[in-house]
Amino acid sequence: MPSEANTHSAFWRGFRAGAPFILVVAPFGLLFGAVAMEAGLNLLQVMSMTMLVIAGAAQFTALALMTEEAPTIIVILTALAVNMRMAMYSAAIAPYIGKAGSGMKLLLGYFLTDQAFAVSTVEFQQRPELTVSQRCSYMLGSMAPLAPMWFGGTFLGAVLGAAIPPEYSLDFAVPICFIAITAPMLRSLPHVVAACVSIGAALALVWVPYSLGLIIAAFLAMIAGVQTEHFLARRLA
């Protein structure tokens, strides 16, 4: 019974940690639903994309390329490249939940988002005594308030997007969401270097067709972060 109580408590801690992101996830979903309908997708296509991908950045990237009439293979590969961060998230979170059952890992993998990863990694580092069950419960709790808002926001945006007045622009949600996620994670020099390189490269490569400059910027940022880590390790040796 104490174990069940601790698991229940972990879930609600995760819920409280994830809940503030509703303020950006909901308008993020509204924006995607409205833009997707304006781009020519029907309601079934919009909701299918949202429920299969569950990744706003990849969905917006794919949608932008589709409106530019980019080749299908470019759309797919670019969206996959943008979503590669989920593979890195999974690798980073695996040491904490690796012993969970396959069903639980599939469930967490399906609902994994930037926000859930951010709050969960902070929690796991601050509370190393948590059991695998408690960690899984915490992650589920952090996802619980966000997934319904993403699905519901997308649906409302698709259905009511045309009725949203232009002065109530929703595109503020995208940068705010990612700033809120990344800012607390810039805890070391390699993190800061990688962030600065990615920003600079993305701006410098904005002319690259099909938004491929973002992919190049991401690779340059990873290289810069790794090289900074090696440099610091050599200085400490």
What's the pLDDT tens digit per position in 151-193?
998 999 888 865 666 555 555 555 655 565 566 556 678 778 8
Residue identified by tokens 């904490």 is 96
Question: What would the pLDDT profile of 99-149 be if each residue is shown by its tens digit?
Answer: 889 999 999 999 998 889 989 998 998 998 899 999 999 999 999 999 999
Q: Is 157 exposed, middle or buried (0-12, 13-18, 19+ CB in 10 A)?
A: buried
Q: What angle do the packed helices 212-236 and 72-82 form, to 10 degrees? A: 30
What pLDDT, on a 0 to 100 scale, did the predictor assign at position 183?
61
Nearest to 37 by CA among 176, 217, 159, 180: 159
Q: How far apart, in Å, are the Cα atoms of 47 and each of 4, 34, 84, 101?
A: 36, 12, 22, 29
What pLDDT, on a 0 to 100 scale, did the predictor assign at position 218?
79
Tell me the residue type at 141: G
DSSP 164: S
Report whether pLDDT(214) > 80: no
The chain-wide mean pLDDT, for the chain, equals 82
Cα 34 off chain centre by:
20
Question: What would the pLDDT profile of 33-83 be if each residue is shown by its tens digit?
Answer: 888 887 788 899 999 999 988 887 788 878 878 877 778 888 888 788 778
Q: Please, what's the b/e burial string for 64-93 (b: 16 or more CB within 10 A of its CB; e: otherwise)?
A: bbbeeebeeebbeebbebbbeebeebeeeb
Question: 3-state class of 217 per DSSP?
Answer: helix
pTM above 0.85, yes or no: no
Number of C-alpha atoms within 13 angstroms, CB side, residue 153? Answer: 22
Enumerate the domain spans of the chain.
Answer: 2-170, 186-237
Report whether pLDDT(234) > 50: yes
